[in-house]
Structure 1
Amino acid sequence: MTAAPDARSALRAATTPDHERVDAAFGAFDLTTREGYAAFLLGQAHAFLPIEAAIVAADPRDLLPDWPARRRGERLREDLSALGFPAPPTGDWAPFRHRADILGAIYVLEGSRLGGRMLARSVPADLPRSFIDTSDSVRWRYLIEVLDKLLVTDDQHTLAIDAARRAFALFEAGALRQKRTKAFG
């Protein structure tokens, strides 16, 4: 009998195809131009803002005490405003019913923070980067510890994975929406 994978491994393995689709969708944006970067941020906002709002409504501080410091929605709105674009409406994200699905969604948002570090290198220095240039490996490691401590059953893994997949799907839809507007630089 083999041991069940830890939460991070289970999430990563189950959502790799979702993650790859999102990376491919956002990879079409030219971050070296103002227009392409703005389109990228708008695509991010269509997913990030409703997911973060739902997490805030669930108040995950009992799971992740540093959650308020992890929030980046306002940074995203500020970067869009500096580029001359209003943030899209927050939209709806189904309320969370379990601690595990909150953590699955946070896993995706925090993973996007890690990816932002590499993407920020492509963005010209004169453009606002406070949303994507906020990587924090210490906080990522702490999140992984929390996931592994609180998500220990197969049912918890399933709930977290389902929430992460829904989050990835919303990010992919946000990117595709911006591509359809032909405003991706």
Structure 2
Amino acid sequence: MLPSQQFPAPTSGRDGAMAALRAGTAAQHDRIEALLGLGGPFGHAHYGRVLQGFFTFLAGWEKLVAAALPQRLLGWAGGQRSGRVADDLHMLGLEAPTAGAQLPAIHGPAQALGSLYVLEGSALGGQVISRHLRDQLGIEPHSGGAYFHGEGAATGARWRDFRATVEAELAGDDRALAQAVDAAARTFEALLATFQDRLHERAAA
């Protein structure tokens, strides 16, 4: 598990908690997109390694988030992320590895929401990736593309609900917001560390 560390980040929510999270993690967001390389052409082998990286990360991360959230917010710890990745790996005949992930430390609801910001936000990009999978590799949600398809047409509504939850829980509480931004940045760093071990050719580039 990655130790807690401080990242440069806004500590005031004057412009909104979501704006602070976005500004505080912009650099890491760009780095993970470049490393995953799913915005352009990619092949089956690369896609399989990406899925395996997500599975190793999510299998442990989901438990950390669930343990850190209070009962009233546990609905956000639900979802079926790791299960969907496992199904995709099975459909593609690939191993579902359980070791090799780096995980961020997550303690308390503010840090859990900050970490969730990373994965909930990635679901929006997953809608674009889902179309790439269909067009480039012929992979549909039922044939190995369930994870990135996610909630499908309901993804936008889920994101709006999450944004409302974040603002209600964090806006106006600078200490909690700073914890959330730090946790989001550490989650990005953990994902980067996890994928750098699997996507050697991208990491080297």
Instruction: Give the TM-score of the pair, scaled to structure 1.
Output: 0.85
Of 148, 162, 166, the residue aligned with 2:167 is 148
Instruction: Give the TM-score of the pair, scaled to structure 2.
Output: 0.77
Of 106, 109, 114, the residue aligned with 1:104 is 114
Matches within 5 A, 1:16-95: 16-27=26-37, 32-63=42-73, 65=75, 67-68=77-78, 70-89=79-98, 93=103
Q: Is the 8 A contact 2:69 2:112 kept in 1?
A: no
- Aligned-pair RMSD on alpha carbons? 2.5
After TM superposition, the structure 1 stretch with the greater mean CA deviation from structure 2, 22-31 or 2-11, is 22-31
Alpha-carbon offset, residue 162 of structure 1: 1.1
Corresponding position of 2:4: none
Instruction: Provide Cα deviations, 1:67-95, integer angstroms capped at 9, x if missing partner.
Output: 42x23111111111222222221657455
Gap regions ≥5 residues in structure 2: 1-11
Alpha-carbon offset, residue 32 of structure 1: 4.5
Instruction: Provide Cα deviations, 1:118-171, integer angstroms capped at 9, x if missing partner.
Output: 111121234411000114110100000000000021111111111111111111
Q: Is the 8 A contact 2:65 2:77 kept in 1?
A: no
Q: Is the 8 A contact 1:34 1:83 kept in 2?
A: no
Q: Is the 8 A contact 1:105 1:164 kept in 2?
A: yes
Of 122, 125, 130, the residue aligned with 2:146 is 130
Q: Is the 8 A contact 2:50 2:195 kept in 1?
A: yes
After TM superposition, the structure 1 stretch with the greater mean CA deviation from structure 2, 133-142 or 54-63, is 54-63
Q: Is the 8 A contact 1:50 1:92 kept in 2?
A: no
Q: Is the 8 A contact 1:51 1:105 kept in 2?
A: no
Of 127, 131, 143, the residue aligned with 1:121 is 131
| Count of paired positions | 180
Percent identical among aligned pairs is: 29
